Amino acid sequence: MALSIREQIIQAAVSRLNALTPDGCLRCVPYTDEDQFVALWDQAEDAEPGAFNRTNYELPLAVVYTIRYSRDDSPSKTSEMLADLMSAMFTPDDDFGGLADGVFYTGSSVKHRESGSDFISVGAVFTVTYTTRAGDPFNK
């Protein structure tokens, strides 16, 4: 069965994020036993009628990048991690090879190392805008 434009965009995002960790990007998985991981959760999207029998969508993708913190890591490690997330989502283009109209960084959260934990993490939300034919999730 053909994949919807939405699913193709999600898979393209996962593919881009795969480069950040040795085990690649997890999808809808909250954690792993690895020293570092990236997980992506697709969220409920907003849709509205567009011109010329089109439907316009805004799809938020929540991404979390987590690593085991070491003494060798700089205090700016979370900023570096956020920059890596942003770079991955916008490279080589901001339209996922023509699947989307654009991708926008819409916010982040940072979890610094806490007592009893060896992990730090950065969460980011990227909103992907795309269009399909009205009632047809498989075709632009």
Non-local (6+) Cβ contacts of 101 within 8 A are 95, 129, 130, 131
pLDDT of residue 103: 95
Q: Strand, helix or coil at 67? A: strand
* Of 40, 35, 33, 97, nearest in space to 67 by CA: 35
The position carrying tokens 């956020």 is 82
- Contact by Cβ (8 Å): 111, 47: no
Domain map of the chain by residue range? 5-133
pLDDT of residue 113: 73
The position carrying tokens 């060798």 is 72
pLDDT of residue 118: 83
Give the integer Cα–Cα distance in Å for 42 and 132.
18
Task: Going residue by residue through the chain, which has 140 residues, state the pLDDT in tens, using 9 for 90 and above.
Answer: 789 999 999 999 999 999 898 878 887 776 666 788 899 999 999 999 999 999 999 999 999 999 888 776 667 888 999 999 999 999 888 899 999 999 999 999 988 777 667 888 999 999 999 999 999 999 98
pLDDT of residue 74: 67
Superfamily of the domain at 5-133: Phage tail protein-like (3.30.2000.10)
Alpha-carbon distances of 46 from 16, 35, 52, 127, 128, rounded to whole Å = 23, 35, 19, 10, 11
Q: Strand, helix or coil at 107? A: strand
